[in-house]
Each structure stands twice: as structure tokens, then as C-alpha cells.
Homo-oligomer: A and B are copies of this chain.
Amino acid sequence: MASVIERVGDLDESQIIDRIQRFLCGTVHTEVGVGDDAAVVRAPDGRVVVSTDALVEGHHFRREWSSARDVGWRAGTQNLADIVAMGASPTSMVVALGVPRDTPVQWVMDFYDGLSQVCATVGAEIVGGDLTAAPVIMVAVTVHGNLGGQPPILRSGASVGDVVAHTGSCGWSAAGFALLQHGGDLRGDAPGAPMAVVERALAAFRAPTSPFVHGLAAQHGHARAMLDVSDGVLRDVGRIATASGVGVNLDDPLTWYDPQPLMQVAAVVDEDDPAYVVRQWMLTGGEDHGFIAVFPPDVALPDGWTAIGTVVPPPRTPSGPCGGAVHRVRVRGVETGEMGSGWDHFSGSSGTAAT
């Protein structure tokens, strides 16, 4: 029986691969692409940087909140950001995609469209994949990068006196999630928040934009440590502090960027204490995919980077959750344990988990 909407279960795997073939035709980094047992990718540096990350429907996204293009864009962004955070240029990716049999074929096409669009922003090529049936949509992307002869930028290079800097969106993904949870009609101006601000927050959650250019510039800006902010600033700064054996003193988040737009969103979801809500979003909200890097105190920050704190000696008793990571980070000199440490997929106790 023909259905009006073509479903994945109506086709066999090779027919679906034919449809997505046009997203899989890179030549710069790809020596052998899709169609054999494996792809062959160029690695002129003699090393390859590799990272994998998964998105699961109901846990990381909901189809009623995010389009297929958004999910593809977001899956690509979070993976590409991990490569850039190592100081490498993304070259190629492979994609394992599981979908229910009744998923429209168009969903798969749009997913690949979003994925290939974000890849195009950094010149990365999709070189292969796997498509299988699954009870919910699940995406696992593995991405590769080229260090171009430079050493990787690890989390462990921070020294006391260094400047902690941020680039990209901060708190906006959490704000968008809060708006979606809050519900209501967000198409017009929300009370106290102009439509442009509401849309910026929703877009940050659905299809976050990572500042790849600024991330790549950190290598030449002499960054000593860097990471992708995926689990919230507090937790991710804590990871640099732990790996480097230092402490970090962060400035008040409300001074990092103009807080007014986020305050307007916060007023929609919590009229009582928007400043508290904004600090929470900026410190513990996940999925923004900005970068945090540590620079020597005597170099000018590259374009697009904002100083948000200073590397200090470690506290005397760095214990507690995350190997003491949280307790290594203070905001305006105050311990931050009570603010929550960021987003965890399993404990889900804070942040933007879409579970």
C-alpha cells in the first residue's frame, strides 16, 4: 500500500543511501568515500584527531521542538566543536543514524542537509555512515581533524596568572530550553522580551552556532588550554582547573556580556529574580558550544574572545564531586558548589537536559 508520505521502512538501505548521496561527495579530504566497507581519509599530519558524540531523541532533542535540519546541525556542531577545541581543523565525519521505520524519508534528508550545512562552514566532509532501524531517533557522529603540525591544545596547560577567556554564546541554549519548557505562545513578543530576543534563545537551543573561527584562532593566539563548553561554564572550567592542577576565579557572569537580553528572557520564565536565573544559565547551562581557553597574561586576546576570569592557585582541599573540579572554581571569590555543577545526562539534576 502506497502511503502519501514516503517512510524509511518503504525503502531498502541502498535506496536511502542513493537519496543522501549528494551530501557525501567531498574530495578535499576524502580519498575513498561512501560505497565500500570503509572510507579513506587524508591525514597529512601523520596524526588524526577523533571524537564521537551521540544525540538521542527524548534525551537531547524532541521532534516537536526541533526540525530534522536543527538536529543535523546540532549533531554536527557539537562534534566539530570538540575537534576545534583541540586546536585542529575538522576534515571529515561519519554518521551512524538509527530511525524508526515510520520516519519520513524527508526527515533523513533534512537531517543530512543540516549536518552538511554546518560541515560546510568549516570545510569538513561527510565520508560515510550507517543507517539502521531504532525505536527512537539516535545519532552518533564521529569527526576527524588535522592538527597541521601543531601540538594539540589540551585541558592541562593552564598556569597561575593566566587569563580565562570565553567566545561564543553563553546561557542562550539554557534560556531557549527554559522558554520551551515554560510553553505558551512564543510567536509574538513575550511579556518583557522582544521577539528577536525570544527567537535568539530558541535558535540557540535548537541549532546552536559554535564560533569555529574564533576557536581556530586560539591556536595562533597562543592558547595554553581550551575546551568546548558543552556541559556548562562552571563544570567545563572545572575540567581545565582539574587537568591543570590549578584554581580559577571567575568574574560575575553579568559582567562578561551585556546581560540585558538574557534578563528579558529570564523575566518571561521567572519574574522574581531574573539576575539569579541568568547567572544560573550562564554558569551551568549546557549545549551552547562556545569555547573556553586560557591565554598567557601578556598576550592580547584574539578577536571574539572575552576575559571572564583568572587562573589562581588551587584551593587547599580540592575534593567533592567531579574530583573537586567544582570546588576549584569560584565566582567572585565565592565557592560555587550550591549552584550545581552543570549538566549531566544521567543525574540530570541541573541545566538543560531535555529529558
Taking the complex as formed, is A227 at the interface, i.e. its CB lies under 8 A from any CB of chain B? yes
Query: Closest residue of chain B to A227, judged by CB?
Result: B37
Query: Closest residue of chain B to A95, judged by CB?
Result: B52
A77 to nearest B CB, angstroms?
Answer: 13
Instruction: Map CB proximity to B onto A51-93 as digits: 1 under 8 Å, 0 otherwise.
Output: 1111010111000000000000000000001110110100010
Given contacts A134-B56, A134-B59, A134-B138, A47 and B51 within 8 Å (CB-CB): no
Q: How far is the CA of A108 from the CA of B321 in the complex (A)?
A: 22
Q: Which residues of B contact A344 (CB under 8 A)?
A: 12-13
Taking the complex as formed, is A39 at the interface, i.e. its CB lies under 8 A from any CB of chain B? yes
Q: Which residues of B contact A47 (CB under 8 A)?
A: 31, 40-43
Taking the complex as formed, is A320 at the interface, i.e. its CB lies under 8 A from any CB of chain B? no
Q: Which residues of B contact A81 (CB under 8 A)?
A: 37
Interface residues of A in 309-340 (CB under 8 A from B): 321-323
Given contacts A59-B133, A133-B345, A134-B138, A50 and B92 within 8 Å (CB-CB): yes
Q: How far is the CA of A323 from the CA of B14 in the complex (A)?
A: 9
Q: How far is the CA of A345 from the CA of B97 in the complex (A)?
A: 12
Q: How far is the CA of A82 from the CA of B345 in the complex (A)?
A: 31
Given contacts A40-B47, A40-B152, A243-B35, A13 and B346 within 8 Å (CB-CB): yes
Contact B48 A94 (CB under 8 A): no
Contact A54 B86 (CB under 8 A): no
Given contacts A59-B132, A85-B37, A50 and B127 within 8 Å (CB-CB): yes
Taking the complex as formed, is A46 at the interface, i.e. its CB lies under 8 A from any CB of chain B? yes
Instruction: Name the one of B13, B41, B95, B346 contacting A12, with C-beta atoms under 8 angstroms.
Output: B346
Of A142-150, A164-172, A199-207, which stretch is located at the interface?
A: A142-150
Q: Which residues of B contact A51 (CB under 8 A)?
A: 37-39, 94, 128
Interface residues of A in 83-116 (CB under 8 A from B): 83, 85-86, 88, 92, 94-98, 101
Contact A48 B144 (CB under 8 A): yes
Q: How far is the CA of A52 from the CA of B39 in the complex (A)?
A: 10
Q: How far is the CA of A18 from the CA of B227 in the complex (A)?
A: 20
Taking the complex as formed, is A196 at the interface, i.e. its CB lies under 8 A from any CB of chain B? no
Q: How far is the CA of A88 from the CA of B43 in the complex (A)?
A: 15
A31 to nearest B CB, angstroms?
Answer: 6
Instruction: Map CB proximity to B onto A117-137 as digits: 1 under 8 Å, 0 otherwise.
Output: 000000000011111111110
Query: Closest residue of chain B to A101, judged by CB?
Result: B346
Contact A43 B40 (CB under 8 A): no
Q: Which residues of B contact A297 (CB under 8 A)?
A: none
Taking the complex as formed, is A32 at the interface, i.e. its CB lies under 8 A from any CB of chain B? yes
Contact B133 A135 (CB under 8 A): no
Task: Using CB atoms and an 8 Å cutoff, list the residues of chain A in contact with chain B.
Answer: 8-9, 11-14, 16, 31-32, 35-54, 56, 58-60, 81-83, 85-86, 88, 92, 94-98, 101, 127-136, 138, 140, 142, 144-145, 147, 152, 154-155, 226-228, 243, 321-323, 344-348, 355
Q: Provide a sorted-by-A list of 20 A–B residue pairs whose CB atoms are within 8 angstroms.
A: A32-B152, A36-B154, A36-B243, A37-B227, A38-B51, A38-B86, A40-B152, A48-B48, A51-B94, A52-B95, A52-B129, A52-B140, A53-B130, A54-B130, A54-B134, A54-B138, A54-B140, A56-B98, A60-B132, A140-B142
4 closest A-B pairs by beta carbon, nearest first, are A140-B140, A38-B51, A142-B142, A96-B140
